[in-house]
Amino acid sequence: MIIITLSRIFHRCMDYFRFRSSSSGGRSTASETDHHHHQLIPRISRKYRSLSFDSGLRLIASLSNNHQRIESPTRLVMSSSVSNSDRKIVTGSAGYILEDVPHFTDDFPDCPTYPNPLQDNAAYSVVKQYFVDDDDTVPQKIVVHPDSPRGTHFRRAGPRQRVYFESDDVLACIVTCGGLCPGLNTVIREIVCGLSYMYGVKRILGIDGGYRGFYARNTIHLDTNTVNDIHRSGGTILGTSRGGHDTTKIVDSIQDRGINQVYIIGGDGSQKGAAAIFEEIRRRKLKVAVAGIPKTIDNDIPIIDRSFGFDTAVEEAQRAINAAHVEATSFENGIGLVKLMGRYSGFIAMYATLASRDVDCCLIPESPFFLEGPGGLFEFISKRLKESGHMVIVIAEGAGQDLLAESIEESKTLKDASGNKLLQDVGLWISQRIKDHFAKKMTLNLKYIDPTYMIRAVPSNASDNVCCTLLAQSAVHGVMAGYNGFTVGLVNGRHTYIPFYRITEKQNKVVTTDRMWARLLSSTNQPSFMKHDDIDSNQLVGEPGTMKW
């Protein structure tokens, strides 16, 4: 209680000395902005002139005179792998760690705040506890032991009592980057509607065609009318692209246009791009917020439970698997083979298999397999055909690439414009290998179905539409509340703000020693195709226990 009260007193004191900053508006250069900022500082009491949020916390701590709750929370600033990026880590008792996100007050300790317009909105003011308490955090791990530390937490998303933008001053922009994903249009729609209806923001721009659109294309005007029906269509009305991330040109464009809120909808690559933009914005001391909304049908983004589009992609994949099953059961020794997306992570294949119940074998990038000999794929196919006369195989596009690379040497080095590995068609390759192997042994009817782009080009389903809406609203609330340099994401079913470095430091993968993969193996009754050595060296790179729903 004491720290909360002191913290509020501190913020009240700070509010008293607030000034109106316009550092990001207009066409000011970085040096002009600096100058403008420093011109305004003398208006603040000397005592609080250089008081950052951190030093504010320390001030409260010293005032509190050794109170237990104040003794423990300490903010440690650690060096980051990304230049100029300070990691905000708050530690507390019982091994509590908050991996916090940057806030405007870190760089602009005296920037003004305003009452949240939602508090005058009849629809929200009746909602009990609509505003999120500043102390609310969400644990990354929810399975704990009596004596285990409380571990890493992330800041809970949602609206705050005070905001750091006046509605009329906001110039927001939205960009979609990377591959398509069901729900992109819904997220665009809900950012526009959230900004407009909740916060009265009128100036919102769409960036045309991904990152390069910042500097190579005109912007697109967005309002609640223009986005009204877009959620019914797949794709993105803004267009998207790979490559073209030129940080300097992008931030020049943000600065020149006077944009002060940047919403970036994209996958792991896009979030790395967002982090680079945020770093440059900070370096230039611009009062511009950058927020990421994770887009990934592959579910290759760590920390989060899942993001929008995945559910729809898995549902759409069922149509291909059903067709494969019908074909396989209609012919002697029928094999239906379906290739699904998943460059480095096999979540779509794994969940489509678990959902379908018709799949006999699921092959993913994380689980090595081999074709010939005892325990190999050919032996299993032979066994399953003898038992039931047909089978369905689901293969993720990134599976077995090492086997393909043995035959196609140059395939190891090919990359797309964003630097992602370009894959060979494992579906075609494995179909041919199976046909060749059984050619002289038995009649085989193999039908290869490749629904690749169909599962991501569709509009999002009902559950993903809800997911898109909540993510978009959470991003808008976070930005308006002054948080910065974050990706919004579901952690254990709660929306959180996650620092970019945690999102970009590794990829999420299926952990084949985790219980979910074991559940799949028991559902299909397929062998693991793993040799003992593979188990030992199995990359434990995923977040064990992700996809918990």
Ligand X SMILES: Nc1ncnc2c1ncn2[C@@H]1O[C@H](COP(=O)(O)OP(=O)(O)O)[C@@H](O)[C@H]1O
Ligand Y SMILES: O=P(O)(O)OC[C@H]1O[C@](O)(COP(=O)(O)O)[C@@H](O)[C@@H]1O
Interacting partner of 294 out of ligand Y, Mg ion, ligand X, none (Cβ under 5 to 8 A depending on kind): none
Residues recorded for the chain: 549
Asked if 272 interacts with ligand Y (CB under 6 A), we say no
Complex with Mg ion: residue 110 or 300, whichever CB lies closer: 300
Interacting partner of 343 out of ligand Y, Mg ion, ligand X, none (Cβ under 5 to 8 A depending on kind): ligand Y
Looking up tokens 């300070």 gives 86
Please give the residues from 129 up to 168 whose contact with ligand Y meets the rule CB under 6 A.
none
Complex with ligand Y: residue 109 or 269, whichever CB lies closer: 269
Q: Is 329 annotated as a binding residue?
A: no
Of the residues 298, 300, 305, 311, which is catalytic? 298
**Cα–Cα distance, 507 to 242 (Å, whole number):** 18
Chain centroid offset of residue 359 CA: 29
Concatenated DSSP letters of 437-453: HHTTTS--EEEEE--GG
Interacting partner of 341 out of Mg ion, ligand Y, ligand X, none (Cβ under 5 to 8 A depending on kind): ligand Y
Catalytic annotation present for 514: no
Instruction: Provide the pairing of β-strand 390-396 with 361-363.
Output: parallel
Q: Is 41 annotated as a binding residue?
A: no
Interacting partner of 177 out of ligand Y, Mg ion, ligand X, none (Cβ under 5 to 8 A depending on kind): ligand X
Interacting partner of 381 out of ligand Y, ligand X, Mg ion, none (Cβ under 5 to 8 A depending on kind): none
Q: C-beta of 500: minimal distance to ligand Y in Å?
A: 16
Name 225's Cβ contacts closer than 8 Å, sequence gap at least 6.
none
Residues in contact with Mg ion, shown as a per-residue x/- string from 250 to 279 under the rule CB under 5 A? -----------------xxx----------
The identity of residue 323, as a single letter, is: A
Q: Is 456 annotated as a binding residue?
A: yes
Q: Which long-range contacts (CB under 8 A, 24 or more apart) does 29-32 make?
A: 29/255, 30/255, 30/284, 30/285, 30/286
**Cα–Cα distance, 346 to 354 (Å, whole number):** 12
Q: C-beta of 502: minimal distance to ligand X in Å?
A: 15
Binding residue for ligand Y, selected from 175, 184, 297, 395, defined by CB under 6 A: 297
Q: Is 269 annotated as a binding residue?
A: yes
- For the chain, state the CA radius of gyration: 26
Name 44's Cβ contacts closer than 8 Å, sequence gap at least 6.
17, 19, 110
Nearest to 486 by CA among 505, 499, 473, 474: 499
Interacting residue ranges for ligand X, rule: CB under 6 A: 177-179, 210-211, 241-245, 266-270, 272-273, 276, 418-420
Concatenated DSSP letters of 146-203: TTS--EEEEEEPS--SEESS-GGG--EEEEE-SS--TTHHHHHHHHHHIIIIIH----
Interacting partner of 243 out of ligand X, Mg ion, ligand Y, none (Cβ under 5 to 8 A depending on kind): ligand X
The identity of residue 459, as a single letter, is: P
Q: Is 243 annotated as a binding residue?
A: yes
How many residues touch ligand Y under the rule CB under 6 A: the total is 14
φ, ψ of residue 110 to 5 degrees: the values are -110, 20
Binding residue for ligand Y, selected from 210, 309, 336, 342, defined by CB under 6 A: 342
Complex with ligand X: residue 239 or 375, whichever CB lies closer: 239
Q: Which helix (H) or strand (E) holds 518?
A: helix 515-524
Q: Is 436 annotated as a binding residue?
A: no
The identity of residue 502, as a single letter, is: R
Q: Is 242 annotated as a binding residue?
A: yes
Complex with ligand Y: residue 298 or 327, whichever CB lies closer: 298
Span near ligand Y by CB under 6 A; candidates 26-34, 101-109, 256-264, 294-302? 294-302
Q: Is 297 annotated as a binding residue?
A: yes
Which residues are near ligand Y by CB under 6 A? 178-179, 267, 269, 296-298, 341-343, 397, 416, 420, 456
Which residues belong to the active site?
298
Which residues are near Mg ion by CB under 5 A? 267-269
